Amino acid sequence: MTAWEFTAVVWILSFAAGFLGALTGLGGGVVVVPALTLALGVNIKYAIGASLVSVIATSSGAAAAYVREGFSNIRIGMFLEIATTLGAIVGALLAGRIGTHALAIIFGLVLVQSAYHSFKGAPDDGHPVESDALARHLRFGGSYPVNEKRQPYGVRNVRTGFGIMFGAGALSGLLGIGSGAVKVIAMDRAMRIPFKVSTTTSNFMIGVTAAASAGIYLSRGFIDPRVAMPVMLGVLCGALLGAKVLVHAPVRTLRAVFAIVILALAIEMIVNGVMGRV
């Protein structure tokens, strides 16, 4: 494969990853890392480095559109980023001490978890909860567009969500993903935030989380511009398109398709990690 062919294949894979990541809030890293590692034979640590750059691009591409549309809750996102940023630094420091085989197996297990929650779906957004005392004190409640109207919602279990976010950040730094699956689960299920608000706020957050650990990967030489550049451009284009499609797309169907894809990638990644092929 020539350099141009490699770049074109990486761009196409990254475009699809960015599109799916923007639609689901899971980030493109869950597709980019196994695709680069399994399909193109890229060392997993370099794939993770490129993925971190792509996660920043996903957030930059999709978050601006979601904020403009009034979906993302910036106040919640900035507060929870304190936990994810600290976790991302811890995860990135641990990544240099763990072998590639173990990373592949851990990554596959995270993909299985993401697939499970994508299949399971989200709680009903039609019955917003009342904010608890801490959420009211922090003024986390808000509203988002529903059928051309603003639907108010409340927030609960802020402490639980903050703790889960630390774990999400550690996964991001360790595995090079936006850990959007964990972020969406924390906001959607633990904090009872409506699914579309959780998804869009996750997209806003994942870039900051990835940036916290990308610097450590860069200092260790794990970000190769020949891989990272086409990944970043592909993911950014896909994320911009995904942000436009989100409002009208049948999200449940897209989540199911995404779950099937990442479950297949998870099985292959675990098998290759166990057999020492990565």
φ, ψ dihedrals at 82, nearest 5°: -60, -45
Closest by alpha carbon to 51, among 73, 72, 34? 34
Residue 41: phi and psi, rounded to 5, are 70, 25
Domains identified in the chain, total number: 1
Q: Please give the pLDDT value at position 251.
A: 60
- 8-state DSSP, 129: P
Residue of higher predicted confidence among 256 and 165 = 165
The pLDDT assigned to 7 comes to 92
- Residues sharing a CB contact under 8 Å with residue 129, sequence separation 6 or more, in sequence order: 153, 154, 155, 156, 192
Domain of residue 112, residue span:
3-274
DSSP letters, 184-221, are HHIIIIIS---HHHHHHHHHHHHHHHHHHHHHHHHHTT
> Considering just the CA atoms, what is the radius of gyration of the chain in Å?
18
pLDDT digits (tens, 9 = 90+) for 176-224: 665 666 787 788 878 989 878 888 888 788 777 777 778 888 888 889 9
Question: How far is residue 253 CA from its own chain's centroid?
Answer: 19
Check pLDDT > 60 for residue 123.
no
Phi/psi class of residue 276: alpha, beta or left (left: φ > 0; alpha: ψ in -120 to 50)? left
Residues 6+ apart with CB under 8 A from 59: 178, 203, 204, 205, 206, 207, 208, 210
Task: List, for residues 44-90, the tens digit of each pLDDT value.
Answer: 889 888 888 887 877 776 677 778 888 889 999 999 989 988 888 88
pLDDT digits (tens, 9 = 90+) for 222-240: 899 999 999 989 988 887 8
Supply the mean pLDDT for the chain: 81
Give the pLDDT band (50/70/90) at residue 10. very high
Q: Tell me which amino acid residue 169 is.
A: G
Place of tokens 């630390």: 166
Give pLDDT, residue 118.
66
The pLDDT-based confidence of 125 (bands split at 50, 70, 90) is very low
